[in-house]
Structure 1
């Protein structure tokens, strides 16, 4: 399996920001505020500049973009020193998240299931966004989401599952650097705990295996026990973790 840094880079490329900057070993991503992953600062390597100076510069850049400055901190390497500095400065820790992965190849069970999920449809971007909004009741402006999807359009699969003629589940699979990232997985509340999430994910894993992916990766908040149980049943195990630091109020 890939080391955590390669896995993190593949995951970030699968959920592309609209603007990406690099500043003394840190990655700054902007997507007009759509999701924290695409609108946060990730320290990856040791800094050569004073932390106070770097943090202040990043804050200014995000304010210029009209976005709250937020750090995404991985649980290892130089990021931990940054995290300690931010904690001492009053930045709040939020939403610990696990990054899970599992191997894939053409002999895995999912690779033989391409025809097994006939009621899981692959959609174009516009139809999929419409279904996503209906399923998640996401009231955010979808312009940035749409742009992000177009940036991965040629190496992604957008799935939607129907029941009684209505969309009840959706998932996004993106292949980057040999890794299949699973994103935007959602099921309507009334249809949960009926195996629909597993059905969509197996279809996505089958597609990834057929495309030559070496493994699959996804992120889940540490407190989401039902989702973690589902992913464990599908063979996912923890690789590393991250959390967010928000500025002092």
Structure 2
């Protein structure tokens, strides 16, 4: 087993809790009314004793009751035969994501291009602004997601940029866990892009992470998001591995 990948996978589970979870024979079933793939999928976290096909059928029935697709996360830690089995059952690949890391000893500190607000807690205004930036209108998501952010068990670095009226136009969230800081929720209003706002947010999170004792950083970026990947590489991040999800509509 690649211990570095296992560490990052553990950190990402800590950083983004689901609304509800179920532990099932070495698998963790996550439920969040399909807010994101990560928070509404099955992850393998330990050895299994029950036959795999029986477990997949069980998961499909559980997600059918929730009214969401059955989704399985496929990382390099998962046996390739499991991915092939899901493909044979009609599961399709969705949301392919690259994980990038960096040694913060190589981070070139530089003042952000614009003023960034930093908080050690996640205020309701930040969550409401994130919903606005992501155009989140689903009533159930707006009800349960705030509690998911409040459930993060690690130190948080909540950052934002505001316009002259006080409206939040860019967000970012750092999660410090062990000697890492994870970079999450980087969003910029379309009207304010190409002004180095995302770079300023990321630099602030990394600097705060260092101040809190982090020596390494990681993030996750969807495949094909070239502008974001270019930004992260310019900050010093490099590719580590790729994961994806296998999804099937079971409703």
**Same fold by TM-score greater than 0.5:** yes
Q: What's the counterpart of residue 129 of structure 1?
A: 127
CA deviation profile, 1:210-240 (whole Å, cap 9, x unmatched): 1111211111111111111011101111111
* Alpha-carbon separation, structure 1, partners of 2:113 and 2:197: 10
- Greater shift after overlay, 170-179 or 238-247? 170-179
SS in structure 1 at match of 2:184: strand
Q: Is the 8 Å Cα contact of residues 71 and 245 (structure 1) preserved in structure 2?
A: yes
- Greater shift after overlay, 229-238 or 155-164? 155-164
Which stretches in structure 1 are left out of the alignment for 5+ residues? Answer: none
TM-score in terms of structure 2 length:
0.88
Aligned CA RMSD, in angstroms, stands at: 2.3
Q: What's the counterpart of residue 115 of structure 2?
A: 119
Deviation at 1:2, TM superposition (A): 6.3
TM-score in terms of structure 1 length:
0.88
Q: What's the counterpart of residue 78 of structure 1?
A: 78
SS in structure 2 at match of 1:128: helix
* Alpha-carbon separation, structure 1, partners of 2:206 and 2:170: 16
Whether 1:99 aligns to 2:106 is no
Deviation at 1:31, TM superposition (A): 2.2
Deviation at 1:180, TM superposition (A): 1.3
Q: What's the counterpart of residue 109 of structure 1?
A: 108
Number of aligned residue pairs: give it. 244
Deviation at 1:209, TM superposition (A): 0.6
Q: What's the counterpart of residue 235 of structure 1?
A: 236
CA deviation profile, 1:121-147 (whole Å, cap 9, x unmatched): 135420111221233322233222211
Which stretches in structure 2 are left out of the alignment for 5+ residues? Answer: none
1:146-157 alignment runs, 5 A limit:
146-152=146-152, 155-157=155-157
SS in structure 2 at match of 1:77: coil
> CA 1:56/1:192 → structure 2, altered by over 3 Å: closer, same or farther?
same
Q: What's the counterpart of residue 89 of structure 1?
A: 89
SS in structure 1 at match of 2:246: strand
* Alpha-carbon separation, structure 2, partners of 1:57 and 1:99: 30
* Alpha-carbon separation, structure 2, partners of 1:121 and 1:153: 22
> CA 1:155/1:117 → structure 2, altered by over 3 Å: closer, same or farther?
farther
* Alpha-carbon separation, structure 1, partners of 2:68 and 2:249: 15
